[in-house]
Amino acid sequence: MKSIKEINEKIKKGQVVVVTAEEVIELVEKKGAKNAAQEVDVVTTGTFGPMCSSGAYFNIGHSKPRIKLGGGTCKLNDVPAYAGFAAVDIYLGVTAIPDDDPRNKVFPGEFKYGGGHVINEIVAGQDVRLEATAYGTDCYPRKKLETFINIKDLNEAVLFNIRNCYQNYNVAVNLSDKMIYTYMGALKPNLGNANYCSAGQLSPLLKDPYYKTIGIGTKIFLGGGIGFVAWHGTQHNPGVPRKSNGIPQAPAGTLAVIGDLKQMKPEWLVGTSMLGYGVSLTVGIGVPIPVLDEEIIKYAAAGDEEIYTQVVDYSANYPQCVPGSLGEVNYAQLKSGKIIVQGKAVATGNLSSYSKARQIAEELKSWIKKGDFVLTEAVAPLPGPESGYTFKLLKERPIV
Amino acid sequence: MVSKRIVLHFPQRLVNQPIVYKLVKEYDLQFNILKAYVTPQEEGLMVLELSGKKENFDKGIEYLESSGVKIQPLSQDVIRNEAKCTDCGVCVPICPTGALVVDPHTRKVHFYDNKCIACELCVKICPTRAMEVHF
C-alpha cells in the first residue's frame, strides 16, 4: 500500500518509478502483480482521438468604448462562437462551422474548417479575426467590433471539454449496400471496413476501469499542457456490462476536462474534418494512475487481448437507436488489421492514433520523472457502476 | 523493355470495346490488371502495369489516347503532408491497393507511393487532410 503523498515525495526526490500503460503489461506478466506494485509508483496512459464535445472559452478584454457581446453575435474566423455570457466572455465549440459552409448540400460535405481548426490556430499563436455585434446599452454603448485577437493578449483562454476520453468505443461497420459517411469515418458497403476509435491498452479509463484513482481534481496531460478532470463527462454510463477483469465491453465512462489553453500545444489539439459529418478536434490526453496497491496495477496491466468492444452497424442500427451488437472483438484483433464479422474478414482502421497515444504516455512519464508533474488526490469520485448513474435516450413529448 | 503503371479512364462509350485485347494483339504488349472498375452507364477505370518493347509501348499509348482513353500517370500526384498526418490509420482500410499500411510495431502509417493508384479515396476521408493531391 502506497499513498499519493508518498508517491509525490518520491517524485520530488527524483526516485519515482514510472512506466507507461504498455510497459506495465509486460512487467506484471514477468514479475507478478505483487512485486510490480511494489516496484512501480505511477502508470501513465494516453489517448489522441477526435473528441467532439470539446471547446474553449475566452475573455477577450473590454474594448473602448465598451461592448456587451452577451445577447449579441460573435464570430472567430467566420465560425460562430457562443455569446450568451457577460460582456466579453465567449465559448467556441469545436463542431461549429461558418454560416456559409455548404454543409451536406453537396453530399458528402467536406467540412474543411470549423471551431476545431480555430482553436488549433489560436493555440499556435496565430491571429484570429473576431467580428461581433451587440444591441448597445447605456453602459455598453458599442454595437460593432471587428479586430484581430491573439492568445497572448486574452485575459483567459481555457479549454473546457464536457465529454472526452471515452472508456471504450464501438467498432463501426456498414451493412447496407451503399457507402455511408459517419463520425466514425467513411464506411464502405457490405462490411467493407470496420473503424474503431480507442487507444485500447493505453487508453486512460480502460486502465482504471472502476475509477479507483481517476476522479474529480485528477491532474492530467491535456493538449500538451496541464489540465484537470472537472467532472464526469456527459453521457457517462458506468453501468454497462463488464468482463470479469472489470473492463466495460461497450462505451462507458467519460471525463469532463479543463485546462489553461495558453500553455497547450497545437500538435496536441488538431482540427479535424470528417467527410459528410462535420468538424471536430483531435485532443491529446494523458492520465497518470498512481499504483496505490496490487489491485490497481492488475487493472492497469490489462492488455489489448483482454479489452473487448462491440461491432455496431452504422447504416441502420446506430441511427435508428436499435440496440444490438454484431459481435464482440478485442483490441488485439482490431490492431491486427482484420476482424471477422458475420463470417467475413473485414479490414480495420483506427480513428485514434496509437503512436501518438504512446508518445503522450511517454511524455507524461518524462514530466513525472523530472519532477515537473506531481499527482493530485481526487477531491470526489466519478460515479461508478454501483451508483446507478446511467445514460438515457430522450423521451419526446409532443408540444400541442 | 519498358514497364509502367498507368491509370486508364474509359469514357462510357468505350466501356464495351476490347481495348486491352488490342494492346496485346496489335502492339505485342504484356499487361497486368491491378485494378478495374467498370459500371454500365458510368466511366470505367483500369489500372494496368503495361510492359513491352519501347517502340511498341509508345505506339500502344498512342493508340489508347487516339481511342479517347484518358491516361493518368500513377501516384506521385498524391503525397502525404507529414506535418499534418497524426498516424491514426483510418485511411488504411479505405486504400484499395494497400499503399497505406500500419507498421505493427511503431503503429505509424506508412505510405508506399509506388503502390498508390491515385484513386484519391484517402484524400477526403483523412481527418486532418494530410493526403494532398498535386497536379
Is the Cβ pair B93, A112 closer than 8 Å?
A: no
Mean pLDDT (chain A, rounded): 98
In chain B, which residues have their Cβ closer than 8 Å to the Cβ of A280?
127
Cell 445514460, residue located = A391
Q: Is the predicted ipTM greater than 0.85, yes or no?
A: yes
CA distance B129 to chain A (A): 7
- Domain spanning B2-73: which superfamily? ACT domain (3.30.70.260)
Query: Given a cut of 60, is residue B34 above it in pLDDT?
Result: yes
B44 pLDDT band (50/70/90 cuts)? confident
Question: Taking 50 as the threshold, does the pLDDT of residue B135 lie above it?
Answer: no
Q: Does B86 touch chain A (CB under 8 A)?
A: yes
Cβ within 8 Å, pair A349-B93:
yes
Residue B46 has pLDDT above 90, yes or no: no
The nearest alpha carbon in chain A to B129 belongs to A273
Q: Which residues contact A287 (CB under 8 A, 6 or more apart)?
A: A44, A45, A165, A204, A205, A208, A214, A218, A220, A221, A229
Percentage of chain A modeled with pLDDT above 90: 100
- Which chain B residues are within 8 Å of A51, Cβ to Cβ? none
Residue spans per domain, chain B: 2-73, 75-135
Contact present, A45 and A291 (Cβ < 8 Å): no
Q: What distance in Å separates the CA atoms of residue A229 and residue A211, rounded to the nearest whole number?
A: 12
Which segment of A140-149, A320-329, B9-18, B124-133 scores lowest on mean pLDDT?
A: B9-18
Q: Active site includes A139?
A: yes
CA distances from B112 to A154, B73, B115 (A): 44, 16, 6
Alpha helices (H) along chain A? 4-13, 23-39, 115-123, 294-300, 331-335, 354-370
- Domains B2-73 and B75-135 belong to one CATH topology: yes
Catalytic residue, from A52, A74, A139, A197: name it: A139
User: How much of chain B exceeds pLDDT 70, in percent?
Assistant: 94
Q: What DSSP element (H or E) covers B57?
A: helix B54-67
Any idea which fold B75-135 has? Alpha-Beta Plaits (3.30.70)
- pLDDT surpassing 60 at residue B75: no
Question: Is pLDDT larger for residue B100 or for residue B37?
Answer: B100
Is residue B121 within 8 A of residue B112, CB to CB? The reply is no
Non-local CB neighbours of A17 within 8 Å, separated by 6+ positions: A10, A39, A40, A41, A42
Q: What is the pLDDT of residues A173-232, one digit of tens each?
A: 999 999 999 999 999 999 999 999 999 999 999 999 999 999 999 999 999 999 999 999
Please give the pLDDT value at position B49.
84
